[in-house]
Structure 1
């Protein structure tokens, strides 16, 4: 075919011209954009530079193409032609998800990969297509080679990622296409906001002579946030003296702040605090130019009463699950023994419930009943004796009481199935999550040590979405991957259909499969 070829697309209906033009993708993308000319229902796509010799071109019409009545294409349409003797046969397909839902109208880009191209996806891709109404995509007629794929919620239609406003998805691996393996399916994406901004230390302040509050400009990885080795407090000239940090904690749902309990501060001394080896929740390291702060010492003791920030379940909460672990979130570390001695769980008629307690961190107390709670029963949590903090300050509310009621077990159902992992990650832990569609905040989660069977017992009836991911880095949360420095996402699978759970009934035979 001639290198001066014009491309024509014929429509059966009159089209919205601008919107349809934006839905036309020609791969490989030229350096100079194509010119468009309309002749009633015929669209002419005119190259502004000669086509490449011996190249297969793919013309795709995305789902944003819309007729004059507002009807969009149900699925992308594509065709291929070659400026040489052969048409390439490489093929990649998969699905794009946003949260737990499929994502239609998302741009999927393929880059012929070279190790010296860290700018991806900030340069134009070699091939592009768009997902259909079910979130599926197909990249057809690709030349052989190794590709790196990205999915982009391309709001401004420029085929490039805008970090400020657009989400991106990363696959679990690059794709190599050759004569023997020229098809690759099930290359799925899970969109997320890619954060590349390094976190900064904003402020540090002495709240009393033994407590320092440290504030960052974004949430910090919790494990590192509460590690005393992440902080260094010094004072004086060389040689500087170091202030001992005895304990570091953070409060419930407040990962932008840490609190440092230290040796006594000196009210006449200026201190320097430096943080190292901290990362935000996207893995970005602390900004080395903004990792220090200065504060003045104080000789004021801690005289503030101990407060409780929240409990789980909340006071007066209804329909509490029968296997609920009870939690108390304190505003500062209490003296643990005083809480353990004071805690009481009882039925409303006074029957005490036995169980085991443990501490998730210095400010979070957890009580696990030794057997499941009774259905449709009222319970009370009570701190019946005096609870104190580490400096002898008592609780601000004495006695402290919370009441809640359990659900009716006859309303519950169950779900069972199997996770199949068709890959090399057979020895990795798998997190299986069951999410209630009507209540997005309600998740049931199971940890499997290896692929195999799972059972969700005693769950509320309703419609659910089932998903699972392989926890390669063993941090108990799904890793979306990073653009730069590049790292692939963890394998994740979503069951293709909505699952209904009925009262007093086991929904069984559900198979969630990780495909190669």
Structure 2
């Protein structure tokens, strides 16, 4: 009998445990869950004053991943002591060993990194709970938006301003919030004070800006909240990667007796790809050879090919020196050096034309036309003008200007306006292209292309609601951010964009305070404000042969 009772008890305990475990599992089967979790209840109620407990509670609409919840809790101001989390079903109780300090407003923010158990759906927007341990709540707010495609999860770091020389990003922020799925954020429960606020893509989630890993957004102004203020809106950001590292020359390899393949730590600015920026020295730093040609490799953007003036001795211990080279962000390296192992492999390969822009039988604009011709080796330039001929389909010769972006590239610009919707032929006599070893190809290359008719273009015109001569309007492709059109505001509030490639665009404007025509993102140290910008609320679908007119761009200062 006792044995039977024991078996029954063990079975009951097993069933109880199974049921308990089942409470931690999401339901299976059915349609794919795409619904984000949300917080449906909280304790204490939002806005509670004179709160004396050492915990708060939140209840979710569904089961969520416990670790993601822990990592998504942000408390402003910070709470001393250990944080413990106890779960009962879908309810989490978060307690603190040292409790909350008296006479302070606390803002609990549950960020969007919380995911459900069923399908790893993230919270659509952050959740905020505000309460006070004193008899009143600070209800001042700051809100805005981060206008980047990957803005979700970006942290908002708010610091009380002490002075204008402190690098606030060296410490953890006093107030924290997180950007939602739509890029918006809000900071609640702020005391009357002056604030400097940054947007940080906090990679390590350590509440510190790490320049090597994190993207950052710089404010266009500090925010001053007086005792009479309740809300500051429109503190918006563009995130960017703050590159502070100067480029490095990493290695050099001779592929044959006349070519040195150099690799840098990052892409080098075009202005640095000059033969005069490089030289070859021996172990005593004595000059062995200057560089005759320099050009960008077409294989990798961080590689440059060099051609020494003279053939080198394989038995010498040599070094390649690079001087005064910069990356595309403008960071300059005054001098760098790597060892160079000399090759005596003969260079007998003929120079080849490897790429053109436009491609064969494609179209180019008939206004401000340009043609780029890329070779796999540098060439002598003295007689290149005799090698190039541009004709229309009737055989009429078009005069051209020829320049050299680097020592292996031709830039050809017609000196006359080309006819729209017309065929052209570019002929290049490759016999004129001779490399440093005298190798060349005896053939004629022809590139056939057409000009656009003009009907392919679209346009946009309208008015802005302010007259500000510092405004620059930007029409930016949503599919290709490098495709931008600019309009500098004048005394009139009218604006117009013409000859625009059809597509979907975002319209925005910025106050060009330094009058350089470029948006200034600001800088973190030494601190420099960004330029204020405004974004039109809707994407614009601009169709060919059709100009969108009478657009009203409302700008509130």
Could you say whether these structures have the same fold, taking a TM-score greater than 0.5 normalized by the shorter chain as the test?
yes
**Residue 186 (str. 1) matches residue 234 (str. 2):** yes
Query: Which aligned pairs between 1:41-190 and structure 2 lie closer than 5 A?
Result: 42-64=91-113, 74-84=124-134, 87-88=137-138, 90-98=140-148, 101=149, 103-112=151-160, 120=169, 124-145=172-193, 147-154=195-202, 158-160=206-208, 167-173=214-220, 175-179=222-226, 184-190=232-238
Query: Which aligned pairs between 1:478-489 and structure 2 lie closer than 5 A?
Result: none
Give the SS at the match of 1:341: helix
In structure 2, do the counterparts of structure 1 residues 494 and 396 end up closer, same or farther at CA, with 3 Å as the change threshold? farther
The answer on whether the counterparts of 2:258 and 2:437 sit within 8 Å (CA) in structure 1 is no
In structure 2, do the counterparts of structure 1 residues 384 and 232 end up closer, same or farther at CA, with 3 Å as the change threshold? closer
Q: Matched residues in 2 for 1:97 and 1:444: separation? A: 16
Match of 2:476 in 1: 434
Question: Given the alignment, which residue of 483, 489, 492 partners 1:443?
Answer: 483
**Alignment length, in residue pairs?**
502
| Structure 2 gap segments, 5+ residues each | 1-48
The answer on whether the counterparts of 2:60 and 2:91 sit within 8 Å (CA) in structure 1 is no
1:312 deviates by 0.8
1:497 deviates by 1.3
Q: Matched residues in 1 for 2:422 and 2:451: separation? A: 5
Question: Given the alignment, which residue of 501, 508, 511 partners 2:542?
Answer: 501
The answer on whether the counterparts of 1:198 and 1:287 sit within 8 Å (CA) in structure 2 is no
Query: Which aligned pairs between 1:31-430 and structure 2 lie closer than 5 A?
Result: 31-32=80-81, 34-39=83-88, 42-64=91-113, 74-84=124-134, 87-88=137-138, 90-98=140-148, 101=149, 103-112=151-160, 120=169, 124-145=172-193, 147-154=195-202, 158-160=206-208, 167-173=214-220, 175-179=222-226, 184-193=232-241, 199-206=247-254, 212-226=260-274, 228=276, 230-231=277-278, 233-235=280-282, 237=284, 240-241=286-287, 243-245=289-291, 248-251=294-297, 254-267=300-313, 269-282=316-329, 291-296=336-341, 304-317=349-362, 319-323=363-367, 324-370=369-415, 372-384=417-429, 386-389=431-434, 391=436, 393=438, 395-396=440-441, 398-417=443-462, 426=470
1:156 deviates by 6.4
1:27 deviates by 1.0
Give the SS at the match of 1:379: strand
1:202 deviates by 2.0
Q: Matched residues in 2 for 1:432 and 1:148: separation? A: 27
Q: Matched residues in 2 for 1:287 and 1:261: separation? A: 21
1:309 deviates by 3.1
Q: Deviations over 1:284-315 (max 9, x none)?
A: 56598xx3212255788865432223211012
Give the SS at the match of 1:120: helix
The answer on whether the counterparts of 1:91 and 1:184 sit within 8 Å (CA) in structure 2 is yes
The answer on whether the counterparts of 1:243 and 1:263 sit within 8 Å (CA) in structure 2 is yes
- Structure number with larger C-alpha Rg: 2
What TM-score, normalized by structure 2, do the two folds share?
0.72
Match of 2:502 in 1: 461
Q: Matched residues in 2 for 1:248 and 1:471: separation? A: 37
1:135 deviates by 0.7
The answer on whether the counterparts of 2:218 and 2:523 sit within 8 Å (CA) in structure 1 is no
Give the SS at the match of 1:340: helix
Q: Matched residues in 2 for 1:217 and 1:102: separation? A: 26
In structure 2, do the counterparts of structure 1 residues 377 and 62 end up closer, same or farther at CA, with 3 Å as the change threshold? same
Q: Matched residues in 2 for 1:232 and 1:470: separation? A: 44
Greater mean deviation of Cα atoms: 256-265 or 152-161: 152-161
Larger RCO of the pair (alpha carbons < 8 Å, separation 6+): 1
Give the SS at the match of 1:328: strand
Q: Deviations over 1:444-482 (max 9, x none)?
A: 434749797654433343322335667889998766566
The answer on whether the counterparts of 1:204 and 1:294 sit within 8 Å (CA) in structure 2 is yes
| Structure 1 gap segments, 5+ residues each | none
In structure 2, do the counterparts of structure 1 residues 391 and 64 end up closer, same or farther at CA, with 3 Å as the change threshold? closer
What TM-score, normalized by structure 1, do the two folds share?
0.77
Give the SS at the match of 1:137: strand
1:499 deviates by 0.5
Greater mean deviation of Cα atoms: 123-132 or 444-453: 444-453
Q: Matched residues in 1 for 2:423 and 2:552: separation? A: 38
Q: Matched residues in 1 for 2:271 and 2:515: separation? A: 13
